């Protein structure tokens, strides 16, 4: 494929570097973007566009926000792209699209590990030492397509969700750029995922960020890293949530570094202790 028309599908800020890579590559023309509809945000609950929509509109690229499968099919049929690139769109594409078009997807893990909605959080919660991004040729099953390219990175001791998210996001743009340099070669050399190695990650909920005395210090540390800076892992003290935004492992125990009491700004744990004393959760043997 040379000089081909691309339809980009993505929604969160994670997808923006991939869109930028497509817009800057000499072989591609991004003819349209599909993203999630505007969602209520903030205290006023005013509808807010996705980061991908904002990035596309800044470059005068047409944007579509289909709410239903039938509407999505109409959009794709109208555009008839040479290539569909999907990065964190938020919806599984039907076979009517993946069977008819060349569809590739950037996923934030080293597939077949961590198929699903929360690969970055899950890698941190598992205290993995490495992760990466995978480019796959999509089929109608979630994150199950043949592998086109892989790019790996270490998970450093001081990484937390935001730092790892941002690094993988940039890597997503880079891996797409490499793919576009020789699309036909990469498509020809795609290889299937190993079924025996498949693992999954789930959609996360607020209660997943609750620290537990039933877990080891290193397991709780993984949760703290996975939910930092937002929404923040937390403990409950006197009926109120205290978020633990940063912590360190020390002498086989977990020591808070930065906390955010409910309704207050974040502060050092030392400052919190001066005013409130030691959190009971961290007085327990760990």
Listing DSSP states for the chain in one string gives --SEEEEEEE-SGGGHHHHHHHHH-TTEEEEEEE-PPPEEETTTTEEE--HHHHHHHHTT--EE---SHHHHHHHHHHH--SEEEEES-SSPPPHHHHTTS-EEEEESSSTTTTEES-HHHHHHHTT-SEEEEEEEE--SSTT-SEEEEEEEEE--TT--HHHHHHHHHHHHHHHHHHHHHTHHHHHHT-B---GGG--EE----GGGGB--TTS-HHHHHHHHHHTTTTT-EEEEETTEEEEEEEEEEETTEEEEEEEEETTS--EEHHHHHHHH---GGGGS--
Same domain, 68 and 128: yes
Tell me which of 168, 201, 234 is where a domain ends.
201
Tell me which of 165, 186, 201 is where a domain ends.
201
Same domain, 140 and 164: yes
Same domain, 10 and 107: yes
Same domain, 173 and 222: no
Same domain, 173 and 234: no
Same domain, 154 and 237: no
Q: The dihedral of CA 65, 70, 73, 78: what is its sign?
A: negative
Q: Say how many CA atoms lie within 13 Å of 93 toward its Cβ.
A: 31
Nearest by Cα to 83 from 24, 35, 150, 137: 137
Same domain, 218 and 171: no
Report the distance separating Cα 47 and Cα 37, nearest Å: 9
Domain region containing 126: 4-201
Q: Global pTM?
A: 0.94
Give pLDDT tens digits for 49-58. Answer: 999 999 999 9
- For residue 87, the model assigns a pLDDT of 98
Nearest by Cα to 88 from 172, 171, 195, 205: 172
Give pLDDT tens digits for 172-231. Answer: 999 999 999 999 999 999 999 999 999 999 999 999 999 999 999 999 999 999 999 999
Same domain, 65 and 193: yes
Residue 286: pLDDT band by 50, 70, 90 thresholds?
A: low
Counted domains in the chain: 2
CATH number at residue 247: 3.10.25.10
Residue 1: pLDDT band by 50, 70, 90 thresholds?
A: very low
């Amino acid at each position: 494929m040379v000089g081909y028309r691309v339809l980009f599908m993505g929604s969160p800020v994670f997808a923006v570097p991939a869109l930028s890579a497509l817009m800057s590559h000499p072989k591609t023309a991004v003819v349209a973007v599909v993203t999630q509809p505007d969602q209520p945000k903030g205290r006023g609950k005013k509808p807010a566009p996705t980061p991908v929509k904002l990035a596309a509109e800044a470059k005068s690229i047409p944007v579509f926000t289909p709410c239903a499968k039938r509407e999505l099919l109409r959009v794709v049929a109208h555009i008839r792209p040479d290539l569909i690139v999907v990065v964190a769109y938020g919806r599984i594409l039907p076979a009517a699209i993946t069977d008819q078009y060349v569809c590739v997807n950037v996923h934030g893990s080293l597939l077949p590990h961590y198929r699903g909605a929360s690969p970055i959080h899950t890698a941190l919660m598992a205290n993995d030492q490495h992760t990466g991004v995978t480019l796959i040729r999509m089929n109608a099953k979630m994150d199950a397509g043949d592998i086109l390219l892989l790019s790996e990175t270490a998970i450093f001791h001081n990484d937390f969700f935001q730092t790892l998210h941002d690094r993988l996001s940039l890597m997503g743009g880079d891996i797409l750029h490499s793919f576009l340099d020789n699309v036909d070669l990469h498509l020809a050399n795609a290889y299937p995922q190993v079924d025996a190695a498949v693992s999954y990650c789930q959609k996360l909920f607020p209660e997943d960020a609750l620290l537990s005395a039933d877990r080891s210090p290193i397991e709780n540390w993984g949760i703290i890293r996975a939910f930092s800076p937002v929404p923040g892992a937390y403990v409950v003290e006197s009926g109120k949530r205290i978020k633990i935004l940063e912590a360190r492992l020390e002498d086989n125990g977990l020591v808070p570094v930065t906390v955010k009491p409910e309704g207050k700004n974040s502060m050092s744990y030392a400052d919190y202790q001066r005013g409130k004393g030691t959190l009971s959760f961290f007085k327990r043997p760990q």
